[in-house]
A and B are shown apart, each in its own frame.
Chain A
Amino acid sequence: MGYTIAEKILLAHTGKKDIKPGEFIEADIDVGLGNDITAPLAITEFKKAGFKKVFDKNKIVLVPDHFAPAKDLKSANQCKILADFAAEQQIINYFEVGCMGIEHALLPEMGLVSPGDLVIGADSHTCTYGALGCFSTGVGSTDLARAFADGKCWFRVPVTIKFIYRGKLNKWVGGKDLILHTIGQIGVDGALDSVMEFCGPVIRNLIMDDRFAMSNMAVEAGGVTGIIEPDEITWEYVRDSRRGHPSKTRNRAHPGMVSPIFTLKSDKDANYKKIYEWDVSGLEPAVACPYLPSNVKPVSKLKDVTLDQVVIGSCTNGRISDLRIAAKILKGKKVKSGLRLIVIPATQKVYLQCVKEGLAEIFVKAGGVFSTPTCGPCLGGHMGILTEDEKCLATTNRNFIGRMGHVRSEVYLASPAVAAASAVTGRITHPQKVL
């Protein structure tokens, strides 16, 4: 029996001759990531256990992004714990405000994660890098503390579920709609403890930003990671990002090359727990309604939902192509009177690109605000908290009760195109209605 791409990557990081789903393994990681919420706890556990030096200062990445720039005194303390630890351990990939971005947009952009890598992050959306053909998954702070110590992590080798997307996507339908549709079909535990492998001709035609949006939300279906076999689109992205930041990546071997015996593709006779095959030609832009990401409806069914706020950004949809789509719709228009539009580019690079291309000007002239990178409102942290009975449409990834503020506020999840169109009309709107 052959291996799936996810099994191949895990196997290549164990030194074993064979692995099979269900088996417990300990594997060597390529990258361990922490943020201002999870890393302080990891650092405490690391020190409490008596460890002094991290296993490899080049393989640890620390990004204060959730409550940064620090929203209050306690958050400032959390951020400082990261800065101090990075200095003490000489961790080169610590990103202070000014070079900081939302971690799951930042790491790929900086070339810090590559096809074939085994990546763990003390953040559930670490599954995002599966879009590059990594085995990349969210873990807890204690897992990260352990990885600080010896560069290893335990796994129960997951089964893989294959998702094949065929057909031709409608205009205004992209990666976010595909993943919302998928979660709507299988539910929030439809891929529990499983790898989601996204493939088929529709995936091959997606640009990287759309692939990141898909892999990002694998965890919303319970997925361990959302993996996509690398192709020329992937490698071009990786080459560009690594070229841009040689000083950050120079200490890392090219992991895709580490195990030349493996191609980064699933074998033809690989074993899947389940295979879904969908023709997505007729798919409408999708919206996840409160209070689960699986409560998905087509945008046309929700035109009576009025909104108080629209957020465009996050590790799901804060990349340059997301903001370009939003700006295209908002150009020359005004957001609905009384509605708050908050646009948050995911990284400094995206921010600068928005300024250069005039997108920032479009957002501001439309009556939106254009913020420094932060996770901020997505998790009800800061920069756009909702009060009682307010409704928000966001390009983020979770719409749980109270996620963005008051327990009686509501979050609807959708693509940047739907978000921009809805900001103009003040209700949930199909993008073609405003153009």
Chain B
Amino acid sequence: MIIKGIVHKFGNDVNTDDIIAAKYLVTSDPQELAKYCMENIAPDFSGQVRPGDIIVAGKNFGCGSSREHAPLAIKGCGVAAVLAKSFAGIFFRNAINIGLPFLECNDIDKISSQDLLEIDLAKGRIKNLSKNETYYTHAFPEFLQEIVKQGGLMEYIKQRYV
């Protein structure tokens, strides 16, 4: 799968309260959650983000709470993928389970806001079309790729029981 989109850049330790504040967790509708995505740290984000855009962040993205509403809010914004130096554990599994594309990448510092990226998820290849650079990273282990391929965890396990 190839994803091409404009970068919105964030720093280290973006937590789940940043991604979606707890006061909005009275619904799990991605479209509704999307309106408030990143509100505390980037109030203009939800108005500026366009379908297909890419979030690029530092280390420990998605730390804090277990709320799956965080990757849902990002998905609801139409964000096509998240790149970060590292992801917090629960955010990582939530993103896998709901099928939000993401990759760990060591070259985050070379990427700027508004860069145009082309990401090949299966190959773990990131082309920075604005800077004419290419970065390589690990694709997911086979077990996780299988979940993603089936369209998320529930689809993956449904195969066993239906």
Contacts and interface: CB of A to CB of B under 8 A. Distances in A.
A78 B13 CA distance: 29
Contacts of A67: 26
A121 B160 CA distance: 23
Contact of B98 (A142, A192, A401): A142
A401 B88 CA distance: 18
B15 interface: yes
Given A138-B66, A400-B18, A149 B161 contact: yes
Nearest to A224: B89
A48 B66 CA distance: 21
A398 B17 contact: yes
A141 B141 CA distance: 22
Nearest to A402: B40
Q: Which of A38, A66, A380 has the most CB of B within 10 A?
A: A38
A150 B65 contact: no
Interface stretch (A39-47, A206-214, A251-259, A420-428): A39-47
A435 B65 CA distance: 37
A123 B60 contact: no
Nearest to B156: A146
A75 interface: yes
A222 B60 contact: yes
Interface in A278-333: 292
B86 A189 contact: yes
Contacts, number: 137
A155 B15 CA distance: 22
B154 A38 contact: no
Interface residues of B, number: 44
B59 A72 contact: no
Contacts of A74: 26-27
Contacts of B26: 67, 72, 74-75, 77-78
Contacts of B63: 188-189, 222
Interface string B74-116: 0000000000001011101110011000000000000000000
A122 interface: yes
Contacts of B158: 49-50
Interface string B119-147: 00000000000000000000001011001
A412 B162 CA distance: 50
A72 B24 CA distance: 12
A75 B22 CA distance: 12
A28 interface: no
B143 to A, nearest CB: 4
Q: Which of A44, A75, A141 has the most CB of B within 10 A?
A: A141
Contacts of A49: 154-155, 157-158
Contact of B22 (A140, A193, A224, A379): A379
A146 B59 contact: no
A255 to B, nearest CB: 23
B154 A142 contact: yes
Given A66-B25, A379-B22, A398-B15, 12 more contacts: A46-B154, A49-B154, A49-B155, A124-B64, A124-B65, A140-B67, A189-B63, A192-B60, A219-B90, A400-B64, A401-B17, A403-B22
Interface of B: 13, 15, 17-18, 21-23, 25-28, 40-41, 59-60, 63-69, 86, 88-90, 92-94, 97-98, 141, 143-144, 147, 152-155, 157-158, 160-162
Nearest 4 CB-CB pairs, A to B? A74-B26, A140-B94, A379-B22, A189-B60
16 contacts: A38-B67, A49-B155, A51-B161, A75-B26, A122-B68, A123-B65, A123-B66, A146-B97, A188-B13, A189-B86, A192-B86, A192-B88, A380-B21, A400-B15, A400-B64, A401-B18
